[in-house]
Amino acid sequence: MQGGYFLRRPILGIETSCDETAAAVLSPDGAILAEALLSQREHAAFGGVVPEIAARAHLAHLPGMVADVLARAGLQPSELGAVAATSGPGLIGGLIVGSGFGKGMAMAHDLPFVAANHLEAHALTARLPGLVEGGAPFPYLLLLVSGGHCQLVAVEGVGRYRQLGATIDDAVGEAFDKVGKLMGLGWPGGPALERLAMQGDPARYALPRPMHGRPGCDFSFSGLKTAVAQLVGTFPAGALPVQVAADIAASFQRAAADCLADRADHAMRDFEAPEKLLVVSGGVAANATVRAALGIAAARRGFRLVAPPIRLCTDNAVMIAWTGIERLRLGLADELDHAPRPRWPLRELAGAP
């Protein structure tokens, strides 16, 4: 299939890779016509995402959500030009629900289907029209930071990605959530930890900064997480003073941000492009301390830091629909027998013909 005819009509995006159920409709030029997102709260009692519960919640909420965004966009399903649904990486149950629903709509209305890679969607978010002044031309440098991923990537084109570095243990978002849990902040711990850190002194505790200053662009956060666990463990269970907790949160957050900025600095030092852009995306990109540290590092290297609006940092369907547009413009539609993939590295994506 070659891009053209179907891009004259809107595209539906569906996101169900983890614990966010989302749907969005974009015009062919990328304008957001309608969007919806539901963050599942059923997992809080378990201290983390339960895959079976997540899949059942997607199944319960997705049909009504799709109907709602289509109605708000003033469209019937038959008026769509294509359907894009996250097909990996992620929790297999949720991927089956979302991609299966998307394939069903595509089949029923004879529409092209795009099996969207969740990581590529984060990578391409910066190219949404109007998001970055002057646009975000290829190539650019991407720092993808979320609960499941932490990597630096040279984005050379749609389907063309070169990994420069990745975490050797925990993702940074995972470290945020685990530290939040250690401190009794509930789940998800990252946002609660950021709020608590606002009341703390980031210089109070000298926490380690793994990999800081070392050659290369790889990350490590397990040692930092362990240091916090040992610090918290010096207090009786449930007896962590509020100010101490705030200081620990602020110190951890600063250390994590310093690690991210240092690794990004190494990548920027060797990255050559006509326009120097450092794009940060993923849920941790919503953290103000992380953004500030990256902004300082980028300015020192003559790079412009690009971060999506907060609502587009976390998992969403706008980025999935936009990925569909980017791929369809190159004729990169997928067959309806495309199988969801719980693991799907960017390097295994097909690029432009």
Q: What is the pLDDT of residues 50-85, one digit of tens each?
A: 999 999 999 999 999 999 999 999 999 999 999 999
- Give the confidence band of 7 by pLDDT, cuts at 50, 70, 90: confident
Find the mean pLDDT for residues 114-127.
Answer: 97
- Give the confidence band of 234 by pLDDT, cuts at 50, 70, 90: very high
Distance CA 242, CA 349 (A): 47
Same fold, 5-126+315-348 and 138-307: yes
* pLDDT averaged over every residue in the chain: 94
Contact 141, 161 (CB under 8 A): no
| Tokens linked to 7 | 């891009």
- Is cis: bond before 89, omega within 30 of 0? yes
5-126+315-348 CATH fold: Nucleotidyltransferase; domain 5 (3.30.420)
Compute CA distances 254 → 214, 316, 321, 334, whole Å.
18, 27, 34, 43
Residue type, 284: V
Please report how the helices 189-197 and 288-300 are oriented relative to each other, as an axis angle in degrees rounded to 10: 80
CB burial class (10 A; 0-12, 13-18, 19+) of residue 315?
A: buried
3-state secondary structure of 180: helix
Contact 80, 111 (CB under 8 A): yes
Q: Which residues of 125-153 are buried (b: 16+ CB within 10 A; e: fewer)?
A: bbbbeebbeeebeebbbbbbbbbbbbbbb
Contact 28, 69 (CB under 8 A): no
- Give the confidence band of 48 by pLDDT, cuts at 50, 70, 90: confident
- Maximum CA extent, the chain: 66
Which DSSP state fits 220? Answer: -
Q: Give percent of the chain above pLDDT 90.
A: 86
Higher pLDDT, 352 or 112: 112
Tell me: pLDDT of 3 over 60.
no
Distance CA 338, CA 341 (A): 9
Tell me: pLDDT of 321 over 80.
yes
Find the mean pLDDT for residues 277-289.
Answer: 96
pTM of the complete model beyond 0.85: yes
Residue type, 333: A
- Give the confidence band of 147 by pLDDT, cuts at 50, 70, 90: confident
What's the pLDDT score for residue 123? 96
3-state secondary structure of 231: helix
Q: Break the chain into its structural domains and give their ranges.
A: 5-126+315-348, 138-307
Tell me: pLDDT of 41 over 90.
no
What CATH number belongs to 138-307?
3.30.420.40
What's the pLDDT score for residue 28? 95
Tell me: pLDDT of 4 over 50.
no
- Give the confidence band of 2 by pLDDT, cuts at 50, 70, 90: very low
What's the pLDDT score for residue 353? 64
- Give the confidence band of 5 by pLDDT, cuts at 50, 70, 90: very low
- Give the confidence band of 221 by pLDDT, cuts at 50, 70, 90: very high
What's the pLDDT score for residue 1? 43
Contact 141, 268 (CB under 8 A): yes
